[in-house]
Amino acid sequence: MGLDDYIKRFAGCRVLVVGDVMLDEYVWGSVDRVSPEAPVQVVLVNSSTRTLGGAGNVVSNLAALGAKVFAVSLVGDDPAGRDVSSLLKSLGADVEGLLIDPSRPTTTKTRVMAAGQQVVRIDREKILPLSAGFEDKLAAHAEKCLEYCDAVLLSDYGKGILTPSILSRLIDACALAKKPVIADPKGLDFIRYQGATVLTPNLKEAAKACSMEILSQDDLEKAGKRLLNELSLACLVITRGPDGMALFFPDRPSLLIKARARQVFDVSGAGDTVLAVLGLGLASGADFEQAALVANEAAGVVVGKVGTATVSTEELLEALTSSADSISRKFRTTKGLAEELQAQKARGRKIVLARGCFDLLHSGHVGFLAQARKLGDMLVVALEDDASVARLKGPGRPILKLNDRVRVVSALDSVDFVTVFSGDFVGLLKALKPTVLACGREDAEDDFKQIVESYGGRTQKVAVEQGLSSAGIIEGIKNSVN
């Protein structure tokens, strides 16, 4: 089976997530002055959003890929706890195992964001030992859910849910039931995860757990083999950020999986994505290497988004399809792009949209797109599909078919995303709502001005190099041949 076959099985998987759920709150605003009371910035709040964090983000990743999720955790008897419960339910997760402890607040992280930058983070939490009663209830409910699940994910953020007793009970229960248990560890004492199927520390965590620096491949091998043997793991996955992953096995040499070069907006939650997708890979029947390859691609998608993000099945399949060609990672469907741009705009980024056929890309096109990119923070290029180009340009056009045009335009540094439309540019405008619509010589700026201004955007005429056109180049080739 190919990797795409396993991904298509994700929607049929049932996964148990046990760990520290949190509420991530983002307060979005702008800064234009310093406080007269103290040397600090004054943030004018525009909006706020609340999302699931910690183990909750693992649930979000699983749900985005169609899995049925059973969540076992603890929240406080407070508005944040009720928000967590509501958000989990909205994802279709089973929350029967979400217990309420009135003695502690729900862990909440509030990030104040301005101009795309985090100004300050405010944490509300109280890390207390679990009472024996809560410990037994959490473990018992997790053991009950295990009967219905294909894999168990342990998301440890060090907030006190995954006690040594709960970890031991769950790992033993998974071994008895022959279900894979994958743990994302926290702290220095990794012995608590002994007997897990897979452990997924990052490079820094692995180094601290081994009380050593990992500065070379030899260091990495030494640390990996040590953790693998001491913890009796079937596989150890050390995530290495832009360097990919390192896999260690008891019975064969280690394996390095490289990460492809990509534009990184935010690494928040990438570890949650790795845990979720690795678990789904094993639940769907993939082996360790196959599951890690898919998880590596999934992490690459989410770091290209802002905040704690998820990856869709469509995005993951596209990423794997384009694994030999990283520039096509800039391509987005209209629906996926609309969601991504909405999040970017909420964070204060200005989105520029340019449209065209871009058949036989020439210096005029390159100059136009370079100028358009300067009008904002991100440039989206909307390409007419082949049928539309044929209607606009006549028989024999386009010379370059759609897939080739997507690849050529994506290769430009000035371009952040590429999408495709079929004649209905007004529909695309209404879906994407760019901050600026960049208009070239072939654009009728007035045709779209009213639409763009209706949602608060603007149109901008961009100078284009005169005397160059794809039609002219084609005609010149014909004449030279004749």
Active-site residue set: 272
Query: 358-384: buried (b, 16+ CB within 10 Å) or exposed (e) per residue?
Result: bbbbeebbebbbebbbebbbbbbbbbb
Residue whose token pair is 């539309």: 388
Residue among 333, 341, 342 nearest 419 (CA): 333
| Residue 448: how many other CB atoms lie within 10 Å | 19
Rounded to a whole number of angstroms, the distance between the first and last alpha carbons of the chain is 52
* Amino acid of residue 44: L
Query: Could you give the CA distance from residue 238 to residue 100 in angstroms, rounded to a whole number?
Result: 34
The burial of 348, by beta-carbon neighbours within 10 Å (0-12 exposed, 13-18 middle, 19 or more buried), is given as: middle
Query: Could you give the CA distance from residue 93 to residue 87 in angstroms, rounded to a whole number?
Result: 9
Residue pair 294/6 in contact (Cβ under 8 Å)? The answer is yes
Full 3-state SS string of 250-266: CCCCCEEECCCCCCCCC
| Residue 336: how many other CB atoms lie within 10 Å | 16
What is the arrangement of strands in the sheet containing 181-184, beginning at the earlier edge strand?
A: 94-100, 68-75, 14-19, 151-155, 181-184, 198-199, 235-239, 245-248, 255-257
Residue pair 69/155 in contact (Cβ under 8 Å)? The answer is no
- Give the count of alpha carbons within 13 A of 50, CB side only: 14
Compute the CA torsion angle 346, 352, 357, 362 (nearest 10 deg).
Answer: -140
